[in-house]
């Protein structure tokens, strides 16, 4: 395999894919390999450090048997406390907390996040990726809830699909996206729908594929998790057994593994029937009424694109095409929570498509 230069540091040192592979091999004590099916595509995840194994939990509902053929993507995952996998880019002086340093070079793209000491690199040319962090014990909760987001998004973008910032719930015959920035009601709506008996794909990030064999856009689950802040947690006491970070700091969200709490309700794939833009009303009743494509795109695109940097420039156009291809609604969320899944379920039943659009991976 030819090594590809990932980046060069100001001192001239090279960070190469060979270097990443060497660092991974050196840290790969107790190598663990898992296969998952993401959007119907096989992905092999090789974990070289026990501290990183917990990142696999979010994918338990996508487990697939190991295949003899090469997977479409292999992700190598490891940490190396006290040493980096090569010369990393230097944080510019005065850089804000949370800075992401994103680059592309040839077939390789990458992102280094100095604030959390994580590096994501994908070589499109060979279908291999590397996710490194300095110490897996220090990974923030959001990485546990939605691991390898950037790598998966870059990889899928080349195949007519991509992650979007949305919740997704439904029935096997079809589902809906609930779009909006943090605090708009996505997680609450998704979990209320789950407890109401509906299928669940995501509360925060979900894969949307623009078209499958002429059957229109589809939703694919990526992460079987949910994140709630303290106030929201009190609404869902039945989820307590699926909590993975009971010792979290007060400012951190609680992460739940929905794929363990309700494995039978996890929906790997379903046709996309509609896009809902939630609005918290403070009134008791919930209602669903036709909304504008503009409102849906404005709620979907900026938060997705800004949070998942490095996607191709055509990503906004792709989202616009998806938004135009399905009806859009405003979901006026009332304070009587039991009503919410009922209204969404009614909408889904009205929009449901024949079973032949359902993809069975």
Interface residue with other proteins among 65, 94, 97, 231 (CB under 8 A) is 97
Judged by beta carbon, residue 63 or residue 107, the one nearer other proteins is: 107
Least Å from the CB of residue 12 to other proteins: 7
* Angle made by CA atoms 43, 88, 153, in degrees to the nearest 5: 30
CA distance 179 to 160: 20
Give residue 193's Cα distance to chain centre: 19
> Residue 237: how many CB atoms within 10 A of its CB?
8
- Tell me how far apart the alpha carbons of residues 122 and 354 are, in angstroms, rounded to a whole number: 38
Residue 218 CA to residue 201 CA, distance in Å, equals 12
Residue 23: partners with Cβ closer than 8 Å, 6 or more residues away: 78, 80, 85, 86, 132
| 99 contributes a contact to other proteins by CB under 8 A | yes
Give the binding range for other proteins (CB under 8 A) out of 36-44, 93-101, 169-177, 248-256.
Answer: 93-101
> Which residue is it, tokens 């009601």?
185
Fill in the per-residue mask, 150 to 189: x = in contact with other proteins (CB under 8 A), - = not in contact.
-------------------------------x--------
Q: Which of 209, 150, 146, 205 is nearest to 179 (CA)?
A: 205
Smallest gap from residue 274 Cβ to other proteins (A): 16
Q: Is 313 in the site for other proteins (CB under 8 A)?
A: yes
94 part of the interface to other proteins, by CB under 8 A: no
Please report whether residue 66 would count as binding other proteins according to CB under 8 A: no
The answer to whether residue 279 forms part of the interface with other proteins (CB under 8 A) is no
Nearer to other proteins, 14 or 243 (CB): 14
Listed in sequence order, the residues at least 6 apart from 241 whose beta carbon sits closer than 8 Å to its beta carbon are 261
Instruction: Count residues near other proteins (CB under 8 A).
Output: 44
Instruction: Note whether 323 binds other proteins by CB under 8 A.
Output: yes
Binding residues for other proteins (CB under 8 A): 5-10, 12, 14, 89-90, 92, 95-105, 181, 292-294, 297-298, 301-303, 305-307, 309-310, 313, 315-317, 319-320, 323-324
């Amino acid at each position: 395999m030819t090594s590809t230069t990932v980046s060069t540091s100001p001192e001239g040192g090279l960070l190469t894919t060979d270097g990443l592979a060497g660092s991974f091999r050196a840290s790969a004590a107790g190598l663990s390999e898992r296969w998952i099916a993401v959007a119907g595509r096989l992905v092999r995840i090789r974990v070289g450090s026990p501290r990183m194994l917990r990142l696999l939990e979010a994918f338990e509902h996508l487990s697939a048997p190991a295949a003899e053929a090469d997977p479409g993507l292999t992700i190598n995952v490891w940490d190396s406390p006290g040493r980096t996998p090569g010369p990393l880019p230097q944080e510019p002086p005065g850089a804000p907390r949370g800075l992401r340093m994103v680059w592309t070079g040839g077939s390789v793209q990458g992102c280094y996040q100095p604030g959390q000491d994580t590096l994501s690199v994908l070589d499109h040319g060979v279908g291999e990726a590397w996710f490194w962090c300095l110490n897996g014990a220090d990974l923030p909760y959001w990485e546990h809830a939605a691991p390898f987001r950037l790598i998966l998004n870059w990889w899928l973008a080349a195949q007519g699909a991509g992650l979007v910032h949305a919740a997704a719930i439904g029935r096997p015959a079809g589902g809906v996206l609930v779009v909006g920035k943090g605090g708009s009601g996505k997680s609450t709506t998704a979990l209320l729908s789950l407890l109401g008996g509906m299928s669940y794909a995501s509360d925060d990030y979900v894969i949307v594929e623009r078209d499958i064999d002429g059957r229109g856009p589809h939703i694919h689950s990526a992460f079987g998790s949910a994140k709630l802040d303290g106030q929201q947690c009190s609404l869902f006491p039945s989820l307590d057994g699926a909590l993975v970070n009971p010792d979290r700091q007060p400012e951190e969200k609680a992460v739940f593994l929905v794929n363990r709490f309700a494995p039978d309700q996890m929906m790997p794939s379903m046709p996309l029937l509609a896009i809902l833009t939630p609005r918290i009303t403070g009134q008791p009743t919930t209602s669903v009424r036709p909304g504008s494509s503009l409102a849906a795109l404005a709620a979907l695109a900026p938060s997705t694109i800004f949070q998942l940097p490095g996607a191709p420039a055509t990503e906004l156009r792709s989202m616009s095409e998806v938004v135009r291809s399905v009806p859009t609604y405003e979901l006026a969320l009332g304070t009587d929570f039991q009503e919410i899944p009922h209204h969404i379920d009614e909408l889904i039943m009205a929009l449901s498509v024949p079973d032949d659009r359902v993809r069975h991976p």
